[in-house]
Amino acid sequence: MSDYKKDELENLLTRLNKDKTPEEVVLDQITLLLLGTLLTLFLFSANNVLGLIAVLFIALGWFYPVDMLRKEYDIRNTNISLDFPEFYSMVFYQYSRSVNIFLTDVIRDYLPNANEDLADELGIMLDNIDYADEIYALRQLKKRVPKHFIIKFCDIMETRLRGYDNISQMQYLKNEIDAFRISELEKELEKRKRKNDTIQFTLIAVLMLYIIIYFIFNILGALKMFQ
């Protein structure tokens, strides 16, 4: 295993709180690869066409464990991004009212309202603050979740914590995040609309098929009567 792949797997496993090592993931890949090979050989002995189709399982067996980790990683980051606007609204509201605000207090106030993935990240932030300080926690968050808005948030908050009054930058970021939230809501509504349309089309298609089958059986029954 190359150092690059090992580093990637370690990062994914750490971010997802998986109790596994990169070597165990590679072992899963090898196991699935061997199972796919055995299945392919068995199907080849029965039917060449099935054997050729089963060759795909060899590749799938190798890529599946890592692909699943990457998908979980993307889902986690997406969930964090979707919940982040509400968290930032609280941060902005608190810091716009007073300069004597501790980021730790804001995090603890929002924590009960956070979704599971964001709650995990906020919990890690609190641990990092206890370990070092708020600036260290922000820098670690930026490394763990390299999303555009979160990187900007960390940079702006670090500047704020160093004593600079950058409320105008915080307002600008809030406007960006609000626009992002509206955009994501519109996408979600459109996605639900497409899903509902698909369900309705499927139901209509099933109903039409049922009607066609019903008339076919009626016609066949009528033909038998005249025979």
> Would you say residue 2 has pLDDT above 80?
no
Using an 8 Å Cβ cutoff, are 43 and 51 in contact? yes
Going by the DSSP 8-state scheme, the letter that residue 132 receives in this structure is: S
* CA atoms 59, 62, 63, 67: torsion sign: positive
Residues 61-106: tens digit of each pLDDT: 888 888 888 888 888 888 888 888 999 999 998 888 877 788 899 9
Residue 225 in domain: no
Does the pTM surpass 0.75? The reply is no
Report the pLDDT value the prediction gives residue 181, as an integer from 0 to 100.
80
Contact 146, 128 (CB under 8 A): no
**Residue 26, domain extent:** 3-77
Considering the domain architecture, whether residues 25 and 113 belong to the same structural domain is answered as: no
Residues 151 and 91 in one domain: yes
Tokens of 172: 């600008």
Q: Is residue 123 part of a domain?
A: yes
